[in-house]
A and B are shown apart, each in its own frame.
Chain A
């Protein structure tokens, strides 16, 4: 008799775990339980349909339930698992018990709800489920003024897209700049400008104290006064859905996510967890973190699947390449920026440079701003942030990988790069940044003044050199 694998959750981690386990071990009987009607769509694309950059929601679907069934999976749609009994190795759904040999918990996250008066009024929306987004999109045709609460990555995308749609948008956040928990203020500045060009009113350093209305919200009460609105979109923090696993006796860490090891195993043999419900260590500090991206969730699901199928697959601590479009501007980074480095007290030197995304004479060339953080003693990369137009995503992916492998400023200053006028300039912006930093550090070493390269936050680039472009 074949082993039975049950996967709870149909998001990125759950679908990866189920499909890859089945592919690697076709003898497995794989059941996927999901509370939703749909599977295998891109929730990250929802803001862009609202903003009318993507024509229709149907474009976000990557596959169908029938396709998964055809691939041999037992799909339990709109089926909520209400209990896990780890001793008897059964889950309960719709009052039926289902036995498992191996289990993967991918219960994902829910958005944090504001704990202020009026949070239960009608008119407060959370972006996650595609069916609800389809209904919400019709409502957007009937309103003029939207308040977006929370300058998280989703908040930035929603504010920019609703501005693009022509709505009046008030963007409210307690932080001093958008995405202030990860982004540095110099990188946030062009995003602010781009959002404002799209008609978004930034209300930073502003606390939401409540929502005002009788049945339906009509204003947001803030520390700076009332902000009138027709609807509110709440984009606060992701909170892991751990209740089911906690009630079953699994452990939760200091971030609130489930504790797993580097094979995605919980403390119970044959029980795995992956995706937004777990915490994983940061590659630089080894401190557990959570709330990563869909690509992290998918890779964690793959790791669990490989180990279930008998491989010995390790998931590495993360260096977190990230990127998003804020207004018309692309920003990205990896690991940590100056704000986080200063916050946790990691010493760093800065490497700054500006280059272009293609040959400067080629139509469509955009400036690429690079800021790297390196260890003052070893010059190993520890983080960075970039902004500009094209090519930001690929550079952040590359830099995260380079940092994970211990690359230094010296490595990057002498890196090879593609020169092809339509797709790349002669001088790579990353190399320019590293060369600037090393030149500055050499100059400081020669000067009679004590070198400041080892002090926290010293700017290895000093005054910005004229960008060298071709």
Chain B
């Protein structure tokens, strides 16, 4: 695994972790019964203070386009999203 691959993997894991913890805290506010505040390591100020608020301000459609442009989605490794139109059975992509 190249160093770039390791960095990409760590970045994804960190981003997902901090977004998830922030989401859990928001959901916990709506459904507090039986829950407890998630454990959080001290620090990670960039992720919590900068990345999470910025990510949340960007509309989903823009995020989708960005992920696609950055080749984060599986289209770059030979996958095709199935059409989701009711009544039209999905067919394998033409090769």
Name A's B-contacting residues (CB within 8 A): 174-177, 180-181, 184-186, 188-189, 192-193, 204-207, 223, 246, 251-256, 259-263, 265, 280-281, 283, 285-288, 312, 314, 316-317, 338-340, 342-347, 380, 403-408, 411
Which of A251, A286, A380 meets B84, CB within 8 Å?
A380
Which of A184, A204, A252, A404 meets B27, CB within 8 Å?
A184
Name B's A-contacting residues (CB within 8 A): 1, 5, 8-9, 12, 16, 19-20, 22-28, 30-39, 55-56, 58, 60, 63-64, 67-68, 72-75, 77-86, 90, 92-93, 95
A408→B86 contact, CB < 8 A = yes
Q: How far, in whole Å, are A252 and B31 apart by their CA atoms in the complex?
A: 38
B86→A411 contact, CB < 8 A = yes
B92→A193 contact, CB < 8 A = no
Q: How far, in whole Å, are A29 and B18 apart by their CA atoms in the complex?
A: 49
A188→B34 contact, CB < 8 A = yes
Distance to closest chain A CB from B72 (angstroms):
7
B1→A246 contact, CB < 8 A = yes
Given contacts A287-B72, A347-B60, contact A340 B23 (CB under 8 A): yes
A317→B74 contact, CB < 8 A = yes
Distance to closest chain B CB from A430 (angstroms):
16
Given contacts A316-B90, A342-B26, A405-B84, contact A207 B39 (CB under 8 A): yes
Which of B33, B38, B60, B78 meets A346, CB within 8 Å?
B60
Please name 18 pairs of A and B residues whose Cβ atoms are closer than 8 Å in the assembled complex, sorted by A: A177-B35, A181-B20, A185-B28, A189-B34, A204-B36, A205-B38, A206-B39, A207-B39, A261-B78, A280-B79, A281-B73, A286-B73, A286-B79, A316-B82, A343-B22, A405-B84, A406-B83, A406-B85
Distance to closest chain B CB from A314 (angstroms):
4
A180→B24 contact, CB < 8 A = yes
User: Which of A251, A339, A345, A346 has most chain B Cβ within 10 Å?
Assistant: A345
B27→A339 contact, CB < 8 A = yes
Q: How far, in whole Å, are A314 and B93 apart by their CA atoms in the complex?
A: 9
Q: How far, in whole Å, are A408 and B23 apart by their CA atoms in the complex?
A: 26
